Amino acid sequence: MLLIKNGTVVTAADFHRADVLIEGEHIKAIGHDLSAPGAEVIDARGQFVLPGGIDPHVHLDMPFMGTSSSDNYETGTLAALHGGTTTVIDFVLQTQGKSLRHALEAWQGRMNGNLYGDLSFHMAVTDFNDGTRKEVKEMIEQEGITSFKTFMAYKGALMIDDRQMVGLMQEVKQHGGMVIVHATNGDMIDYLVQKHRSEGKLSPLYHYLSQPEITEAEASHRFADMASYTGVPAYIVHLTCEGALNAVRDAARRGQRVLAETCIQYLLLDASLYEREDGAKWVMSPPLREKKDQTQLWAGIEQGSLQVVATDHCPFTWEKKLLGKDDFSKIPNGHPAIEHRMELLFSEGVNKKRISVNKFVEVTATNPAKIFGMFPKKGTIGIGSDADIILLDPNEKHTLSAKTHHMNVDYSSYEGRELTGKVKTTILRGQVAVHNGEVRIKKGYGKFVKRNKVSGML
């Protein structure tokens, strides 16, 4: 038994001074003056006691562009725990021409036995045909994989066309799943990439200029239209810009709710970084945007139009990034973020009074759990829920750096940035996993999480 005393317990709804009692893997009680003979006691005075973060958008050990993302299941989930994220959702990517099952087995092979933190899978459907149609139900009901990722970009590799999209949506809806999407117009982007390359425009800035806002706004509108027609629960990943947010708002006008996630970097960083010599560090898709987009994304969170803040964690070492030093299109897409989402959002969001601490919990934990079918097991500090809890000191200052972070990558996207608010203790299913930087669990402690059917309602 574990007893957390005197902290300020926060959920998506509540905020109170209380003790939290944990028995085994679960939360047993919350209250004043709780006592439990024999329980290990953690003093949380002056700290926020928060649900462990859920990052529903990470790519671990993922084969991509001739290499693999540099964090594997071990280093990635451990770095997440250091930063207060107890559960992540990773993406299985179907190979076009092969089955979903085939991909799932490959991903399970890399994942099994290697987890520190808990993890679940989205299934990326890159080839929807009569074969894969049959696997949808099986994934939902047998594997607990209830969210199906689609790509409207990366033609020839990951992209499905609108015909497959509508077909997939109708199938997924029927069985209680959700369709999630990387919404950018792959055709337009392919064209612009080739155009820029043929003109000798090869620096990282052209990565940005090959994916203008309109490519994302367009695809987001289109996805919303198809979701409206089919009625499937729908979710846009890594939404970055005003144009795409307006697609969500336009859908609202006809009574539709399209769920959407942004990522921490789109709230805090902007495209001016692409003009730096080391701009490749931030080459990701979609790219960073403008200041006006940041303003709109913060507003979207407050307005409830963006429900989740994730990371799209997909790190590559600087050496790998240099594969594209002469051609932006060869830079592996992605950047490291899994470790610092919680602290960044707390420091920039809560401490700077852009969002309430309830909203912080909502977008980092409760909403991801509810949207993706893990609630109330995950995502809150509730009686009977998994005791996934972090203690965060709201006032401690610290500085982000590749020298001190735990992700397996040799640069930080936020090198030298000073934050206020630090995760001191991370508890996963009742076990102190990390405390003051010390790891107290072993590889393999993390579990795969089967998820429930979803409704798209919050």
Residues in region 118-137 near a copy of itself by CB under 8 A: none
Could you give phi then psi for residue 34, rounded to 5 degrees?
-70, 145
* The two structure tokens encoding residue 339: 């470790």
Residues numbered 290 to 319 that lie near a copy of itself (CB under 8 A) are 295-296, 299, 302-305
Instruction: Fill in the DSSP letter of residue 362.
Output: I
For position 458 contacting a copy of itself by CB under 8 A, the verdict is yes
Residue 163 or 403: the one with the smaller Cβ distance to a copy of itself is 163
For position 6 contacting a copy of itself by CB under 8 A, the verdict is no
Residue 43 or 418: the one with the smaller Cβ distance to a copy of itself is 43
For position 66 contacting a copy of itself by CB under 8 A, the verdict is no
Size of the residue set binding a copy of itself (CB under 8 A): 73
Residue 155 or 450: the one with the smaller Cβ distance to a copy of itself is 155
Q: Where would I find the beta strands (DSSP E) of 196-338?
A: 234-236, 259-263, 308-310
Residues numbered 331 to 390 that lie near a copy of itself (CB under 8 A) are 355-356, 358-359, 361-362, 366, 375-376, 380, 382-385
Residue 157 or 439: the one with the smaller Cβ distance to a copy of itself is 157
For position 257 contacting a copy of itself by CB under 8 A, the verdict is yes
**Amino acid type, 304:** G
User: Of residues 1, 39, 106, 166, which one binds a copy of itself by CB under 8 A?
Assistant: 166
Total residue length of the chain: 458
Task: Please state the three-class secondary structure of 388-433 as a single string.
Answer: CEEEEEEEEEEECCCCCCCCCCCCCCCCCCEEEEEEEEEEECCEEE
Residue 61 or 171: the one with the smaller Cβ distance to a copy of itself is 171
For position 35 contacting a copy of itself by CB under 8 A, the verdict is no
For position 25 contacting a copy of itself by CB under 8 A, the verdict is no
Candidates 66-74, 157-165, 338-346, 438-446 — which segment interacts with a copy of itself by CB under 8 A? 157-165
For position 21 contacting a copy of itself by CB under 8 A, the verdict is yes
Nearest to 146 by CA among 118, 167, 174, 127: 174
Instruction: Fill in the DSSP letter of residue 52.
Output: P
Cβ within 8 Å of residue 332, ≥6 positions away: 64, 65, 66, 67, 283, 316, 320, 321, 323, 324
Residue 110 or 175: the one with the smaller Cβ distance to a copy of itself is 175
For position 13 contacting a copy of itself by CB under 8 A, the verdict is yes
Q: What is the spatial distance between Cα 110 and Cα 105, in angstroms, rounded to a whole number?
A: 9
